[in-house]
Amino acid sequence: MNGTTFPLRALGNSDLRLSPIGLGTSVLGGGNWRYSLGPQSDSQSIAAIHCALDLGINWLDSAGLYGLGHSEELIARALQSSPHKPYIFTKCSSRWREDGTMYNSLKADSLTEELEGSLRRLKVDTIDLYQVHWPDPESEIEEGWEQLARLREQGKIRWIGVSNFSVKQMKRAQKIAPITSLQPPYSIVRRHIEAEILPFAREMGIGVISYSPMQSGLLTGNMTVESIASLPANDCRREMNEFYEPRLSRNLRLVELLREIGNAHEVSPGVVAVAWTLHHPAITGTLVGCRSAREVEGLAPALRFRLSQDEYERICRFVRSIGWYLSLIYGRIAPVSGAKIENFDCCNHESCTRSRTESVGPL
């Protein structure tokens, strides 16, 4: 698909060959939706997409929900003025009403309507990978997965995947049709998928394209206590546990270790954080979110940079030394309905303690 100098990676059972990192576009949707990261310029978004493609990134990931459709529209606009033809991934099941409030549905008719909307906004006839965004409502998983399999047979989707699914939920879907990929959160400070989910995916040949390797920007090396305190009111990171004490101080100490390792290779802490994620053998690729061409260029070394085993283990030892390990390993994305998980860093998704009634999507 491109003339890169880094190896492309096969995604699960598909014929898709991915660059090690893809461009996530949730931030490009702008600030007009519940889980935005604040205001965003369309011109900067399009420049970021162009820069990513020029540097060899060959897959873009979106969702109908991002910017309430705006992210997909921006992808279409960017590709109209680009010579590159990247893979286009998007997601379904998370929807919105006219007033901007959100809901979830895996009903067959709803998914068909969502797909048609995404095809229209993206200005394409076929989507390379269509993913169930959240396994919600859980009672509709089978109906939704059956419908995606039918839509694939119609040629409107090339491959189908899931996002934020547990092992139990993936097994339910597998009884109906193969799963090409899983998209879970995964970072140095968010490691719960290591216990069961990644081993299962590797055993089953399911590709894994993780999101938030830099923990929504926290591990980039660009954030300080002051900059976090001044985040816009509509920036959903204001609701994320990792941006508050006592975790914030520990996370910023981790960033200094990443900076020390990165300095030896002339790369940023964010590149080291991405490389840590890619070190796991079950990870096919990971998504990075960038607001501008400059940010894309800063993370471009992550296409090629890899940690040594000693460097990887040094980071792991640091995390264990400050008492994160057990809560990170034994957390779960999607426990039995009604369960509570105390002190779990899951961006206040519904699988966390239910002190809030709304969940946060992938960032």
pLDDT given at position 351? 29
pLDDT given at position 238? 67
Is residue 357 pLDDT above 80, yes or no? no
pLDDT bracket for residue 36 (50, 70, 90): confident
DSSP annotation of 221:
S
For the chain, give every domain's residue range: 9-329
Task: Count CB atoms within 10 A of the CB of residue 178.
Answer: 16
Q: How far are the Cα atoms of 52, 152, 293, 300, 335 from residue 297, in angstroms, in the given order?
A: 8, 35, 6, 5, 38
pLDDT given at position 38? 78
Structure confidence by residue, pLDDT tens digits, 259-308? 999 999 999 999 999 999 999 999 999 999 999 999 999 999 999 999 99
CB 58 within 8 A of CB 18: yes
pLDDT bracket for residue 324 (50, 70, 90): low
Average pLDDT, the chain: 86
The whole-angstrom separation of Cα 253 and Cα 16 is: 38
DSSP states of 73-136: HHHHHHHHT-S---EEEEEESEEE-TTS-EEE---HHHHHHHHHHHHHHHT-S-EEEEEES---
pLDDT given at position 233? 67
The whole-angstrom separation of Cα 120 and Cα 309 is: 45
pLDDT bracket for residue 133 (50, 70, 90): very high
Q: Which CATH architecture has domain 9-329?
A: Alpha-Beta Barrel (3.20)
Q: Which of 121, 328, 343, 354 is nearest to 246 (CA)?
A: 343
pTM value is 0.86
Which entry of 66, 130, 186, 211 is annotated as an active-site residue? 66
Structure confidence by residue, pLDDT tens digits, 141-199? 999 999 999 999 999 999 999 999 999 999 999 999 999 999 999 999 899 999 999 99
330 has catalytic annotation? no
| pLDDT winner (highest mean) among 80-89, 94-103, 229-238 | 80-89
Which residues lie closer than 8 Å to 286 by C-beta, 6 or more apart? 20, 21, 22, 186, 209, 210, 211, 213, 274, 277, 278
pLDDT given at position 345? 35
pLDDT given at position 348? 29
pLDDT given at position 344? 31
The whole-angstrom separation of Cα 274 and Cα 299 is: 9
pLDDT given at position 215? 82
DSSP annotation of 302:
G
Q: Tell me the HSE value of 250 on the side-chain side, using a 13 A CA sphere.
A: 17
Amino acid identity at 30? G
Q: Which two tokens stand for residue 296?
A: 């894309």
pLDDT bracket for residue 321 (50, 70, 90): confident
